[in-house]
Amino acid sequence: MSEDKVKILLSNGYLWNVSGLADYFFKIYSQPDFVEEYNIVRKKYIMNTLMFLTELNALSSLKVYPSKANFALVELKDRTSFDFYLDLLVDSGVYVRDCSDKIGLEGEFVRIASRTFKVNLWGSQSDRKLWIRYKIWNNLPPYIRPFLYFFYRYILRFGFLDGFIFHFYHGFVYYLIIDSFYMELKKSGLKK
């Protein structure tokens, strides 16, 4: 690389290594506005997580082990709670992870993530994505979703400029596999 390009990168404060990236984040974290906004958002998520844990504790078929993170470790006491777990995952869009592969956990455990209660179309980008997922995507019939998403991604978002194979596998086949797995679980009575 020429010395002129290195000087330009250094004058802007960016160099392609970890130190440049760390410097960028340290500049953000040192801004007083960022710290104030971060604390407001952090407290909101803590309150949402506490409310979430309180509501989960009210369910008798679950034993909740709270954490300091934005999730709870939950022991499923009976088979009907497994249906609850899948309903959370599929219908409500709550992130649920099976913890059967974790060492030291005897029984059926899942990790359930907390999130905000309201989903707003006019909020942040993540709120818009959640709104689309809950209000539109989850209400579409299975096996139609992969076709619609591929059309959106390949045609409407000009994916044909990137090539067919990537968008076909990531935008169609991937979601077709997910819908197939979902239908298989639904057909088998939502059993493991």
Q: What is the pLDDT of residue 50?
A: 80
- 142-164 confidence digits (pLDDT tens): 899 999 999 999 999 999 998 89
Residues 6+ apart with CB under 8 A from 9: 15, 16, 20
| Residue 101 lies inside a defined structural domain of this protein | no
DSSP secondary structure code for residue 62 in this structure: E
| Residue 135 lies inside a defined structural domain of this protein | no
Q: Which residue has the tokens 């009976």?
A: 78
| Residue 187 lies inside a defined structural domain of this protein | yes
- 73-82 confidence digits (pLDDT tens): 888 877 666 6
Residue 9 has pLDDT above 80, yes or no: no
Q: Which residue has the higher pLDDT, 170 or 119?
A: 170
- 21-63 confidence digits (pLDDT tens): 777 777 787 887 888 888 888 888 788 778 778 877 887 778 8
Q: What is the pLDDT of residue 79?
A: 62
| Residue 65 lies inside a defined structural domain of this protein | no
Residue 173 has pLDDT above 90, yes or no: yes
Q: What is the pTM of this model?
A: 0.48
| Residue 27 lies inside a defined structural domain of this protein | no
| Residue 184 lies inside a defined structural domain of this protein | yes
| Residue 13 lies inside a defined structural domain of this protein | no
Q: How far is CA 20 from CA 35, 37, 177, in A?
A: 21, 24, 40
Q: What would the mean pLDDT of 137-145 be, rounded to a whole number?
A: 88
Strand residues in 62-156 grouped as ranges (E): 62-65, 71-76, 96-98, 108-113
| Residue 23 lies inside a defined structural domain of this protein | no
Residue range of the domain that includes 153: 140-192
For 94-127, letters b (16+ CB in 10 Å) and e give eebeeeeeeeeeeebbbbbebbeeebeeeeeeee
DSSP secondary structure code for residue 111 in this structure: E
Name the domain count of the chain.
1
